[in-house]
């Protein structure tokens, strides 16, 4: 029979799949001999079974009772005892940290009779009644979905936060809470302690499928089928008076990575009070003055935990009457800057290797570091300064609730007293988050850091109402624009100008890494990534300027030059002439194309440049049919000769297509319009010959687009080879094709007979495989598909490994079987997506190509993919 419950002493930190992250780490701390309250973990297996059947798994309740007796023996108290009750906390704990997304219930086991016994045993009636009102509130919200506002209104009517209320006020508040509970549930608050416990466990299981938890997993790309464990632990109390309290600490600064101890402590409070941000906290340095013994013990434990986990640790603790208890630890979330700095520090300290350091950072984090920051020299006086909780520069209109943020069509800043898990949709939609309460460990700060959102917390000078915020005598309303600097904590009126990030300026060569911990860390890890990577990283570049920038960013070639982009602007008229049958247009285009290629080859001298022959849907180069028809009609109505418009209208009608993306484009265009591809091939060859004559080392490659049958490629290749043979002084030029039609992938073995290289055009391959257009679906059904979980992410952003990816694998295998040593790359924007880069590494591609800005991201991910594969092989 499946076992569903494990005591803390039975697990370890490597059992996260079974025990969840929190349970595995509680077990690890217990094994280390740290002061962890006794308890046990109900496994993720039990959760999945409960969610599948809707009932508790067979045998689970008996296992819980058995382990509960073990906790009672360790504590010396009995659960449900009216005179001296053992109280329990019930907390969720999935494999991956989901801060604030699922449920916690504290003080389980209190009832109308045991609350009096707790008061007598502790000699503190106020504490007992405060704990009871907390239980009713949390239990009602979590187990029976009682609206939190109903309890909040009663608390506000009683006079404020619980710590300010007398015993009599708390007793009245308990009565009020019980009435709220009954009004919304139709039943009395349960008095049986075991009923409370089992109802709480079921509620935590159900919270896995709560809307906010599902949304968070989708945002963070966490699998939806993992389930959560449930951790049941003996209560320890931070709300026992001034010698008690609760806190959250980090072994290094999660915002910057600086060494040291960072965190918040709240006297006479329970754990949820800190992360909720309802009351502003004191620093851990202040704890050293009010409880030096606990502070010293905490610092020692933090050092041991960081050594054990070999990483930044996030710790939750409670002090009860001067005794320190550890309630949780985990590898802490951090900002992108802190991730790079900490990884480099741990290498310097000999804690991890450079390969391990590469696994501690991600391409997504590097992308966030490349976003612009504020130009503070041009900034006005700040309105106020809060806690810099998550770096970045965010500009937007003020909104005061999550629904408004989620519905906004313009950039917004979510402004709240504090956030809670129900605010997640608005936090995702907003450019930044600003709160008047809370610190670096509040809900807003932790969630924002995890999502890479700019966040300023604890701006105490802000007075926030339902539809306005007042600060320094100035009142701002919804729709007013403000700017948040998450690095300094400053809040500015209006829109502050931005400047390139210093990471981008470093890649551009404007800054050096000397004396800058972040840039030094980025440089060190990028060097190791380049050294480790198997995949080369090329760039998509159509001009010399784009190519030069890509080279500065570390590209080792151009994987895609889109020649159709060279025909825009003033040259569009030449394409119109070509369509009208004017052969002279080709002669005029040749020198223009040749100059384009000379510029590109000069910028990438000594590196491969893959030039895609023109691939435009013709409608992009011709006036719209409706517009031409209207112009001709107006001319005829006025008795005027429509002239060239009339001739062009005839041609456009002749070539009009219902689905131009699937029509006359790519190789088909080159076969239908005689001389078009030949002109481009000649321009490439002559530009390369000129570069060779000037002492350069051009390495052009010609890529034929949209091939679906080998016969198409053979026809174009024969024409191209004849042209190349006629250009004296040209270097060897390889001819290959772009695999973007499913049939090309399936017949790759045939096509490889005529192609010296493949490059996957994953944008077109994706839309042709799925049967929907990337230009049309965003507003049609993508949002609903993401909501339903049909897509974890847009297949145009991250490669669909099961479908499109399978076509890539087939084409690589069949192509190389036909032509051993076939060079294979990818030139769709998937080439700069971190998850896709890892897929392309695993599939055996030779290079990825992406926009210049994403070249560093692809370089980092190529190195991470190689080091991860090497680590897996060594194991």
Q: Which residues 6+ apart lie within 8 Å of 202 measured at CB?
A: 50, 56, 143
Q: What is the dihedral of CA 723, 729, 734, 740, to 10 degrees?
A: -60
Its sign, for the CA torsion 429, 432, 438, 443, is positive
Which H, E and C letters describe 12-70, residue by residue? CCCCHHHHHHHHHHHHHHHHCCCCCCCEEEECHHHHHHHHHHCCCCCCHHHHHHHHHHH
Beta sheet of 39-42, edge-to-edge order = 5-7, 39-42, 228-234, 88-94, 104-108
Place of tokens 């009750």: 85
DSSP for 359-409 reads HTS-HHHHHHHTS-EE-GGG----SEE-EEEE--EEEEEEE-SHHHHHH-S
Q: Rounded to 5 degrees, what angle do the CA atoms 720, 721, 726 make?
A: 100
- Going by C-alpha positions, the residue among 485, 420, 472 that lies closest to residue 447 is 420
DSSP for 112-154 reads TTHHHHHHHHHT-HHHHHHHHHHHHHHHHHHHH---HHHHHHH
- Going by C-alpha positions, the residue among 358, 264, 345, 258 that lies closest to residue 310 is 345
- List active site positions: 443, 827
Contact 85, 193 (CB under 8 A): yes
Contact 419, 447 (CB under 8 A): yes
Q: Rounded to 5 degrees, what angle do the CA atoms 837, 20, 295 make?
A: 105
- Going by C-alpha positions, the residue among 273, 134, 108 that lies closest to residue 200 is 108
DSSP 332: P
Contact 405, 384 (CB under 8 A): no
Q: Rounded to 5 degrees, what angle do the CA atoms 97, 102, 104 make?
A: 105
Joined tokens for residue 223: 């699998």
Contact 228, 93 (CB under 8 A): yes
Beta sheet of 313-320, edge-to-edge order = 282-283, 259-267, 245-252, 313-320, 323-331
> What pLDDT does 875 receive?
42
Other Cβ atoms closer than 10 A to 460: 13
Other Cβ atoms closer than 10 A to 763: 15
pTM beyond cutoff 0.85: no
Q: What is the pLDDT of residues 143-171, one digit of tens each?
A: 999 998 899 889 888 876 555 789 999 99
> What pLDDT does 874 receive?
45
- Going by C-alpha positions, the residue among 233, 228, 240 that lies closest to residue 197 is 233
User: Please, which residues bridge with residue 331 across strands?
Assistant: 313
User: Mean pLDDT per segment of 10 residues, for the chain of length 875 residues?
Assistant: 93 94 96 97 96 94 96 94 95 82 85 95 91 94 91 85 78 96 96 96 91 78 88 92 91 91 86 61 88 96 96 95 95 92 97 96 92 81 87 89 89 89 82 85 73 84 88 90 89 89 93 95 97 96 92 96 80 75 84 94 97 80 73 81 75 66 82 90 97 97 96 97 96 97 97 97 92 68 73 83 96 98 92 94 97 93 92 52
> Distance between CA atoms of 473 and 482, rounded to whole angstroms?
16
């Amino acid at each position: 029979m499946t076992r569903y419950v494990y005591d803390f002493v039975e697990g370890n930190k490597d059992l996260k799949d079974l025990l969840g992250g929190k349970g595995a780490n509680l077990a690890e701390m217990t094994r280390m001999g740290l002061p962890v309250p006794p308890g046990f973990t109900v496994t993720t297996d039990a959760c999945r079974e409960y969610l599948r059947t809707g009932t508790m798994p067979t045998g689970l309740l008996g296992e819980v009772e058995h382990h509960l007796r073990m906790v009672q023996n360790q504590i010396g108290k009995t659960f449900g005892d009216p005179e001296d009750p053992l109280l329990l906390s019930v907390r969720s704990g999935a494999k991956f940290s989901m801060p604030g997304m699922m449920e916690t219930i504290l003080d389980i086991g209190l009832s109308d009779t045991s609350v009096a016994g707790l008061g007598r045993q502790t000699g503190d009636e106020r504490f007992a009644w405060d704990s009871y009102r907390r239980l009713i509130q949390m239990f009602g919200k979590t187990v029976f979905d009682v609206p939190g506002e109903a309890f909040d209104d009663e608390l506000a009517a009683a006079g404020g936060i619980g710590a300010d209320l007398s015993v009599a006020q708390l007793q009245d508040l308990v009565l009020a809470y019980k009435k709220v509970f009954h009004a919304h549930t139709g039943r009395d608050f349960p008095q049986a302690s075991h009923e409370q416990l089992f109802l709480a466990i079921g509620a935590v299981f159900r919270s896995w499928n709560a809307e906010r938890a599902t949304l968070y997993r989708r945002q963070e790309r966490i699998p939806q089928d993992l389930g959560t464990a449930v951790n049941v632990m003996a209560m320890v109390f931070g709300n026992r008076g001034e010698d008690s309290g609760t806190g959250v600490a980090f072994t290094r600064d999660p915002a910057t990575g600086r060494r040291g101890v960072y965190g918040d402590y709240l006297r006479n409070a329970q754990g949820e009070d800190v992360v909720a941000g309802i009351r502003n906290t004191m620093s851990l340095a202040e704890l050293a003055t009010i409880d030096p013994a606990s502070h010293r013990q905490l610092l020692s434990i933090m050092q041991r935990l960081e050594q054990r986990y070999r990483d930044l640790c996030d710790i939750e603790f409670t002090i009860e009457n001067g005794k320190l208890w550890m309630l949780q630890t985990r590898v802490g979330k951090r900002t992108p800057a802190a991730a790079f700095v900490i990884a480099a520090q741990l290498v310097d300290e000999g804690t991890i290797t450079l390969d391990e350091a590469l696994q501690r950072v991600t391409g997504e984090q590097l992308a966030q570091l490349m976003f612009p920051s504020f130009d503070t020299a041009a900034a006005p006086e700040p309105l106020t300064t809060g806690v810099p909780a998550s770096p970045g520069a965010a500009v937007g209109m003020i909104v005061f609730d999550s629904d408004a943020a989620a519905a906004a069509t313009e950039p917004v800043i979510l402004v709240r007293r504090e956030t809670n898990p129900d605010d997640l949709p608005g936090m995702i939609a907003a450019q930044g988050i600003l709160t008047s309460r809370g610190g670096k460990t509040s809900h807003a700060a932790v969630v924002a850091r995890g999502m890479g959102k700019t966040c300023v917390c604890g701006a105490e000078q802000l007075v926030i109402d339902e539809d306005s915020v007042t600060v320094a005598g100035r009142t701002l309303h919804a729709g007013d624009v403000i700017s948040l600097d998450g690095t300094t904590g400053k809040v500015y009126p209006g829109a502050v100008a931005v400047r390139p990030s210093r990471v981008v300026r470093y890649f551009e060569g404007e800054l050096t890494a000397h004396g800058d911990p972040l840039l030094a860390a980025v440089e060190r890890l990028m060097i190791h990534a380049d050294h480790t990577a198997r995949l080369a990283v090329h760039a998509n570049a159509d001009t010399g300027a784009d190519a030069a920038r890509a080279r500065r960013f570390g590209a080792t070639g151009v994987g895609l030059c889109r020649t159709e982009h060279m025909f825009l602007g003033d040259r569009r008229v030449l394409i119109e002439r070509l369509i009208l049958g004017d052969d002279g247009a080709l002669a005029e285009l040749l020198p223009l194309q040749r100059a384009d290629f000379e510029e590109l080859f000069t910028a990438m001298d000594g590196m491969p440049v893959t030039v895609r022959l023109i691939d435009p849907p013709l409608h992009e180069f011709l006036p719209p049919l409706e517009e031409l028809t209207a112009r001709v009609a107006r001319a005829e109505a006025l008795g005027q000769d429509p002239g060239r418009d009339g001739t062009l209208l005839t041609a456009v009608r002749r070539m009009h297509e219902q689905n131009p993306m699937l029509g006359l484009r790519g190789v088909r265009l080159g076969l239908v319009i005689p001389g078009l591809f030949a002109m481009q091939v000649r321009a490439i060859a002559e530009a390369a010959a000129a570069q060779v004559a000037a002492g350069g080392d051009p390495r052009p490659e010609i890529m034929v687009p949209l091939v679906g049958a080998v016969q198409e490629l053979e026809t174009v290749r024969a024409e191209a080879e004849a042209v190349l043979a006629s250009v004296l002084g040209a270097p060897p030029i390889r001819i290959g094709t772009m695999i973007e039609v499913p049939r090309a992938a399936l017949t790759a073995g045939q096509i490889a007979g005529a192609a010296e290289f493949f490059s996957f055009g994953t944008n077109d391959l994706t839309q042709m495989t799925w049967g929907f257009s990337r230009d049309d679906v965003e507003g049609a059904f993508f949002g609903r598909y993401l909501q339903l979980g049909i897509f974890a992410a847009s297949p145009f952003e991250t490669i669909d490994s099961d479908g499109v990816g399978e076509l890539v694998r087939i084409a690589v295998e069949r192509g190389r079987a036909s032509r051993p040593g076939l060079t294979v790359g990818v030139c769709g924007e998937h080439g700069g997506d971190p998850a896709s880069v890892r897929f392309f590494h695993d599939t055996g591609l030779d290079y990825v190509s992406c926009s210049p800005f994403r070249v560093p991201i692809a370089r980092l991910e190529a190195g991470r993919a190689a080091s991860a594969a090497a680590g897996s092989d060594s194991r």
